[in-house]
């Protein structure tokens, strides 16, 4: 795993956005896997800025998001459909027909999970998957003990995850209990992954992901088995890494001459 450590969150976000942008520019027809969550909001803001300045086009890009809440229609304000429209899709030249998220309101969520897997396969798979990480080590909504070979399916969210995401719902509204999420096996088939983590609340999860023993108790550890993962961290998220000095030595100031 390539570990790039930047001084602060703004620098980490700019680094990750720069890598995404350079990849899209070099492969305009790319299939991008997208993530949601608070960490990604400034990254999408950076991509919007690049688009507004004329340096980045999404006209040929296809996207697949990691997950969506079961029971929420695309128009629901707390849905990830809404998040993506507001954070990125409504502000750039992407063809809405090429943007994909699982349908949370599908009558048969199991069939929807299978359809989603097939849609990814039909478009040739994901070239670059963006990832955040949960405090409990989840990627997508693959909560601890998720099978490391799992495919898109229904996942029950942990109480901790529901609490962390309560801010996206109005007061008194119930945070959904279930999500449709790409599996760890689905994520592992992406040709490359770019994980962004910022802030001290992610330090323990990042240390486990990068240096801990591989196991379903921390699903992000599966990424150690992936040949092309770049983790972009700020100093706070990197604080618990034992080999921090080594990562700084290999990639001074988060620099990297080759990004696959
Ligand atoms: P966050 O979520 O960016 O809101 O912390 C990340 C995640 O849970 O994957």
When mean pLDDT is compared across 97-101, 121-125, 202-206, 252-256, the lowest value belongs to 252-256
223 vs 256 pLDDT, higher one = 223
pLDDT of 233 reads 98
What average pLDDT does range 9-38 have in this prediction?
Answer: 98
Residue 260 located in a structural domain: no
pLDDT, position 260: 58
Residue 239: inside a domain, yes or no? Answer: no
181 occurs within a structural domain: yes
pLDDT on residue 257: 72
| pTM, two decimal places | 0.97
Least confident span in 40-44, 62-66, 182-186, 254-258: 254-258
CATH number at residue 159: 3.40.50.1360
143 is catalytic: yes
Catalytic residue among 51, 117, 127, 136: 136
Active site includes 108?
no
Is 179 within the bounds of a domain? yes
Number of domains in the chain: 1
Is it the case that residue 258 has pLDDT exceeding 90? no
> Is the pLDDT score of 259 beyond 90?
no
Say how many Å lie between the CA of residue 4 and the centre of ligand 1. Answer: 19
Would you state the pLDDT for residue 80? 98
Q: What is the mean pLDDT of residues 216-232?
A: 98
Smallest CA-to-CA distance from 36 within 128, 101, 94 is with 101
Cβ 183 under 6 angstroms from ligand 1:
no
The answer to whether residue 216 is domain-embedded is no
Residue 31 belongs to domain spanning: 2-210+221-232+248-254
Is residue 71 within 6 Å of ligand 1 at its C-beta? no
71-103 pLDDT, tens per residue? Answer: 999 999 999 999 999 999 999 999 999 999 999
Which whole number is the average pLDDT over 188-216? 98
Considering the chain, what percentage of its residues have pLDDT values greater than 90?
98
Average pLDDT, the chain: 97
Note whether residue 37 is domain-resident. Answer: yes
Residue 238 belongs to some domain of the structure: no
Quick check: is 121 in a domain? yes
- Per-residue pLDDT tens over the stretch 138-156: 999 999 999 999 999 999 9
pLDDT exceeds cutoff 90 at 24: yes
**d(CA 24, ligand 1 centre) in Å:** 23
Is the Cβ atom of 39 under 6 angstroms away from ligand 1? yes
Kindly give the distance from the C-alpha atom of residue 194 to the centroid of ligand 1, in angstroms, as a whole number.
14
Residue 256, pLDDT above cutoff 90: no
- Closest residue by Cα to residue 198 from 131, 127, 251, 128: 131
The stretch 19-26 carries a mean pLDDT of 98
């Amino acid at each position: 795993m390539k570990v790039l450590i930047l001084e602060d969150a703004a620098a980490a976000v700019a680094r990750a956005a720069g890598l995404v942008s350079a990849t899209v520019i070099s492969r305009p027809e790319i299939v991008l896997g997208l993530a949601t969550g608070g960490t990604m909001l400034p990254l999408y803001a950076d991509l919007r800025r690049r688009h507004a300045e004329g340096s980045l086009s999404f006209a040929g890009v296809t996207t697949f998001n990691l997950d969506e809440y079961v029971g929420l229609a695309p128009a629901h304000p707390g849905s990830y459909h809404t998040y993506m429209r507001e954070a990125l899709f409504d502000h750039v030249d992407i063809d809405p027909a090429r943007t994909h998220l699982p349908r949370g309101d599908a009558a048969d969520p199991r069939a929807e999970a299978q359809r989603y897997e097939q849609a990814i396969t039909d478009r040739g798979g994901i070239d670059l998957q963006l990832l955040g990480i949960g405090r409990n080590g989840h990627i997508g909504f693959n909560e601890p003990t998720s099978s490391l070979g799992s495919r898109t399916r229904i996942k029950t969210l942990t109480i901790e995850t529901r609490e962390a995401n309560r801010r996206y719902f109005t007061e008194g509204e119930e945070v959904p209990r279930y999500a449709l999420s790409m599996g760890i096996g689905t994520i592992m088939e992406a040709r490359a992954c770019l994980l962004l983590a910022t802030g001290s609340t992610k330090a323990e999860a990042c240390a486990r992901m990068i240096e801990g023993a591989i196991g379903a108790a921390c699903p992000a550890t599966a990424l150690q088995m992936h040949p092309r993962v770049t983790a972009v961290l700020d100093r706070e998220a990197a604080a618990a890494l034992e080999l921090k000095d080594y990562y700084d030595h290999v990639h001074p100031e988060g620099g990297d001459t080759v990004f696959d």
